[in-house]
Amino acid sequence: MRTLAVLFGAASVCTLATLASAQQLPTFNVGDSVDYYTASKWIPCTVTSPLKSGIYNIRCGSVDLRAKNEQSELRVHIASTAGILDVSEVKEFVSRHPLGDSIGARYATREPRTCDNHRATITSTDAKELFICDAEHEFGGTLYLVSDVSLLVSNSRPYSASEDSGKVGIDTRQPVFDISATYNNYQCSQIPSSFTDYPGARNCNEFKMTNAAGSCYKNTAGEWHCLMYDFHPAATATATATNVAPPTIVE
């Protein structure tokens, strides 16, 4: 089927997709391959339970979903659609799939940024860099990445027990720098193994963080950390988009 798709071009694939959607859905059996429509894309899935009350249980990679028995959500699997990519899709796919078993490879993203946080003191440039390195990490099966960071640093102040006692390992003898920022926060899930050849998969939710506030402090090991506390009363976190591609630029 892929050979035919390459020979006849994308137009033939569109024709196949149109014909499939125009036909009545067949009755799918457990184990049948189907395509499920989500985030403006068809993704390959497998039926895991018979039709019941108009709903199929399906598995897409390692994710279990429920799909209505409707042509707008479900169709017979068309394997050839994943075989035709334009140049931009190929470049995006390659850039999002690092080799090996790194964090980025598991999530089909760039690698989270790391940096040396042993510094005598910090500048505003250091604060932005340290914040990005602290913000980008893997936790609980989710990879956190950031982009478009605009950060302001206040003048240093002494340690305050009322404001800083919750900072793990803080060196109370060192100055603290309050910071504020706006940035985009991406929370990405791991790419199921069945999606490795599906560059259309979008595995991140994006949040625009505005008026976020936090601080930079030095711990007793001599490491600087710049952490943002996004959910204080003055901050707003708006989910701008779900099922989006991760950021590709390292700030």
Residue 69's CATH number: 2.30.30.140
pLDDT tens-digit series, residues 118-145: 998 899 999 999 999 999 999 888 999 9
DSSP 194: G
The helix (run of H) or strand (run of E) holding residue 250 is: none
For 160-208, how does the pLDDT look when each residue is reduced to its tens digit (9 = 90+)? Answer: 999 999 898 999 999 999 999 999 999 998 876 555 444 555 788 898 8
Q: Which two tokens stand for residue 154?
A: 């206040």
> How do residues 84-120 score in pLDDT, each as one tens digit?
444 454 455 555 555 566 888 788 888 999 999 999 8
How many Cβ atoms are within 10 Å of 135's Cβ, its own excluded? 22
Measured over the CA atoms of residue 62, residue 65, residue 71 and residue 72, the dihedral's sign is negative
Boundary (domain end) residue, out of 52, 83, 114 = 83
pTM: 0.60
Q: Are residues 166 and 182 in the same domain?
A: yes
Q: At residue 211, what is the residue type?
A: N
Considering the domain architecture, whether residues 149 and 110 belong to the same structural domain is answered as yes
The tally of domains found in the chain comes to 2
35 versus 156: which is more confidently predicted? 156
Give residue 102's Cα distance to chain centre: 15
Is there a contact between 27 and 51 (Cβ–Cβ < 8 Å)?
yes
* pLDDT, mean of residues 208-237: 82
Same domain for 71 and 172?
no
Q: Has residue 250 been placed in a domain? A: no
Enclosing domain of residue 63: 2-83
